[in-house]
A = this chain, B = another copy of it.
Amino acid sequence: MRTEICERFGVEFPLFAFSHCRDVVAAVTNAGGFGVLGAVAYSPEQLERELSWIDRQVRGRPYGVDVLVPGKIDRSVADPDARLLDHVPEVHRDFVAHLFTKYGVSSDKTFTAGQAGPPASKADEIGRRVTHSGATGLIDVALRHRIGLIASALGTPPPEMVDRARAAGVPVAALVGTVEHAHRQVAAGADLIVAQGTEAGGHTGEVSTMVLVPQVVDAVAPLPVLAAGGIANGRQMAAAMALGAEGVWCGSVWLTTEEAETPPVVKRKMLAATSLDTVRSRSRTGKPARQLVSAWTKEWDEAPESPGPLPMPLQMLLAEGALTRIGNAAESGEPGARELANYFVGQVVGQLDQVKPARQVVYEMIEEFATAITRLTDLTHP
């Protein structure tokens, strides 16, 4: 395929693959797409190692890095000396402890009973990855590698990030859930807009891909737009491009690939889930993010005793700590922990029912895309 996006980003097929797993990123890039590594899962040192590994795998083929820079987060992170875990209220810690008891989650080597999160210094580092300075630290690492894209998955990229990327000749992409966000991202200097519908996994808005994409395409023209949300096969990719997108950005579809490091319990839940089994919930990060429905989301969102989620990044710290412990307990077979376990995923989870290599997902998408276009052409020019 020869589109402007293909030429500009050096890909054969305008399929951008978001993943926290380096193996997925490398596999998609090597199959002719464009892998994007979610950097927020890593410290700067870890990110350096992941990107060096990817460099060796892709040997010059293009890939990118994605950070989170939310506009509004808890003000505690503004104080560089603050210990973030001290800002998690007692009632929230107690609720997590209550969930551990209610669901019979045992302690493990990493987390002792009653302790709901990572150690304080680690928590501070993790929590600050979503601040401007934290994201810029990750971007500095990324720019030492031959990356072809920096993406801001949440919030407007800070001017320093745009300036550094520009100086390095690296385009900046930004994910948006509304037309208003799109205008703001263009003003902030984004080169590529990813219009992401509510059906997407992770942080997402309320407007569906079908409705959002044409509006964003019209609003930011002539900037190119990728479509995200609800795209996991070739027909959906063709639909996204019929809406005016120049390519697609997919995340969920990789979670059930062979390469994905999705915990086995969660992967099995995903393979079994229907498209009704996701929910937009603030219970993992403090901002609305689509994920598998589980006892975790139900307790936080519906239980009368729930204190309600904290702002980002405090809820993220609390939840990731607790869910790591829950994940370990779930993998060791504890039924209560299995009920609680979940992960970010979009409504396409209902069509994911087989574990496949990421490369095969790409090839099947290319083939189904071509078939869909041929069918459309035949319908209109019989």
Contact = CB atoms under 8 A, between A and B. Distances in A.
Interface of A: 1-3, 178-180, 197-199, 205-212, 214-215, 229-231, 233, 235-236, 238-244, 274-276, 346-348, 350-351, 370, 372-373, 376-377, 379-380, 382
Contacts of A241: 242, 376, 379
A109 to B, nearest CB: 40
A210 B239 contact: yes
B209 A210 contact: yes
A98 B257 CA distance: 55
A13 to B, nearest CB: 11
B242 A275 contact: no
Nearest to A207: B275
Contacts of A239: 210, 238-240, 242-243
Contacts of A370: 380
A2 B210 contact: no
A199 B211 CA distance: 8
28 contacts: A1-B380, A178-B274, A178-B275, A178-B276, A198-B198, A199-B207, A207-B276, A207-B350, A208-B209, A208-B230, A208-B347, A209-B210, A210-B240, A211-B275, A211-B346, A211-B347, A211-B350, A214-B233, A214-B235, A215-B351, A238-B243, A238-B376, A239-B239, A239-B240, A239-B243, A242-B376, A244-B372, A370-B380
A348 B211 contact: yes
Given A1-B380, A239-B243, A376-B238, A275 B199 contact: no
Q: Main SS of chain A's interface residues?
A: helix
B382 A373 contact: no
Given A178-B274, A207-B276, A370-B380, 19 more contacts: A1-B379, A179-B274, A199-B208, A207-B347, A209-B210, A210-B230, A210-B240, A211-B275, A211-B348, A211-B350, A235-B242, A235-B243, A238-B239, A238-B242, A238-B376, A239-B243, A241-B242, A241-B376, A373-B377
Contacts of A274: 178-180
Contacts of A207: 199, 275-276, 347, 350
Most chain B CB neighbours (cut-off 10 Å) among A211, A229, A372, A379: A211
B380 A275 contact: no
A364 to B, nearest CB: 13
A210 B231 contact: yes
Contacts of A212: 275
B376 A380 contact: no
Nearest to A348: B211
A230 B347 CA distance: 16
Contacts of A236: 210-211, 214, 243
- Closest A-B pairs by Cβ, 10 of them: A210-B230, A239-B239, A238-B242, A199-B208, A239-B242, A211-B347, A208-B208, A207-B275, A211-B230, A209-B210
A215 B376 contact: no
Contact of A210 (B179, B199, B215, B244): B199
Contacts of A373: 242, 376-377, 380
Contacts of A229: 208, 210
A197 B211 CA distance: 11
A346 B380 CA distance: 28
A215 B235 CA distance: 11
A240 B2 CA distance: 24
